[in-house]
Amino acid sequence: MDAKRLNEIVEAVVRELTAAGLSSGPAPAQTAVPAPAALPPAPAAAPSPALSALVVDLEDPTTPAARAHPGVQNPADADGLAALMEATPARIGYGCAGARYRTAPWLTFQADQAVTQDTLYRDVDENLLSSLGLFKVQTRVTGGKQEYLLRPDLGRQLNEEARQTIQQRCTRAPQVQVCVGDGLSAQAIESNLAQILPVIRQGCQTAGLSFGTPFFIQYCRVGVMNDIGDLLQPLVLMLLIGERPGLGRADSMSVYMGFRPQKGHTDAERDVICNVFNGGTNPLEAGAYAVQLAQKMIRFQAGGVKLKLAEG
């Protein structure tokens, strides 16, 4: 059957369906198989005037204002709908296309997820680390991000080279030791480190606490704090680490803190300041708070659950 004949048949069927109310689909000619002559022109040919005049230039759909835009057609109560959307960060009030999402909120959802995926599989910018004077060591993960995700046990241990480098370059037994780890988000470190690190350093100086030599750990899990504690014997160890990215939020960092961290310690011995980002716990405030917490740990000689009990 030639393409022209096929077109005619398809057009006839679509006409019938439309007449029967079963399809309000696009114009029949567009649904038909294109004849060879209708193939797109070769790339070298000049675009048509209509194509040249085409402009797709979109506003950012991820701004708070754009996200607040309702999508329900003919709502029962338009003001009420806006108020309901205002009451929750959940993705409500965007309406539907049949039983599916409307196009704009669906594509924004995909964009939100894309951000999390990109930060997970990317390394922290080396320039940032060197500008802040951090040297870099690695855990026992050797197989890249995939092995990092699959083997949390390896991310909790320093490799041999790291142990030597740390022993050579770091001051032993400081009152406060700061380490930085990529964790599950490179962007979290890039967004917050330049703000929080100077605050912690300055805060320690003001408080009269000796400040150890800070460094960066690639493929890092929180449990690596025990290895560092055994090597450097700090009173307080702070680990600044990228959190698991949330949908559309890749810049959230945590500060894990331990008092005399050592082999066998678990989260019960640690304190954590989480949700550190501009919009959550502000990194400047988080830095100041971390120093206060360090002072408290030293005063009570305890961290984690023990610190809470000691405080009474």
Partner 1 sequence: MILRTKLFGKTYEFPDLRILMGKANEEKSGDRLAGVAAASTAERAAAKMVLAAVPLWALRESPVASYEQDEVTRVIFDALNETTYAEIKNWTVGELREWLLANTTPPEEIRRVSNGLTAEMIAAVTKIMSNMDLILAASKIRVICHCANTIGLPGTLSSRLQPNDPTDSPEGVRASIYEGLSYGSGDSVIGINPVDDSYASVARLLDMTHEIIKTWEIPTQNCVLAHVTTQMRCLKNGSPVGLVFQSICGSQKGNESFGISVGMLDEAYELAKKYCVPAGPNYMYFETGQGSALSANAHHGWDQLTLEARNYGLAKRYAPFQVNTVVGFIGPEYLYDASQIQRAGLEDHFMGKLTGISMGVDACYTNHARIDQNGVENLAVLLTAAGCNYFMGIPMSDDTMLSYQSTSFHDTAALRQLFRLRPAPEFEAWMESLGLMHGGILTEKAGDPSFFLKR
Judged by the rule CB under 8 A, the positions of this chain that interact with partner 1 are: 72, 74-78, 80-81, 84-85, 87-96, 98-101, 105-106, 109-110, 112-113, 116-117, 120, 149-153, 184, 244-247
* Amino acid in the structure at residue 239: L
Are 128 and 194 spatial neighbours (Cβ–Cβ below 8 Å)? Answer: yes
Closest distance to partner 1 from the beta carbon of 148 (Å): 10
* Amino acid in the structure at residue 302: A
Distance of alpha carbon 96 from alpha carbon 87, whole angstroms = 20
The owner of tokens 């649904």 is 31
Closest distance to partner 1 from the beta carbon of 115 (Å): 9
CB closer to partner 1 out of 170 and 184: 184
CB closer to partner 1 out of 2 and 77: 77
Are 268 and 305 spatial neighbours (Cβ–Cβ below 8 Å)? Answer: yes
- Maximum CA extent, the chain: 89
CB closer to partner 1 out of 80 and 198: 80
Distance of alpha carbon 16 from alpha carbon 5, whole angstroms = 17
CB closer to partner 1 out of 59 and 77: 77
Closest distance to partner 1 from the beta carbon of 132 (Å): 26
What is the end-to-end Cα distance of the chain in Å, rounded? Answer: 87
CB closer to partner 1 out of 47 and 80: 80
- Residue ranges of alpha helices (H) inside 177-303 are 186-207, 225-232, 283-300
CB closer to partner 1 out of 120 and 204: 120
Closest distance to partner 1 from the beta carbon of 76 (Å): 5
Closest distance to partner 1 from the beta carbon of 184 (Å): 6
DSSP assignment of 66-83, as one string? HHT----SS-S-HHHHHH
- The tokens for 93 are 């009030």
CB closer to partner 1 out of 17 and 149: 149
Closest distance to partner 1 from the beta carbon of 309 (Å): 19
Please, which residues bridge with residue 254 across strands? 241
* Amino acid in the structure at residue 81: L
Closest distance to partner 1 from the beta carbon of 275 (Å): 10
Distance of alpha carbon 25 from alpha carbon 8, whole angstroms = 17
For residue 58, the Cα-to-chain-centroid distance in whole angstroms is 24
- The tokens for 151 are 């083997």
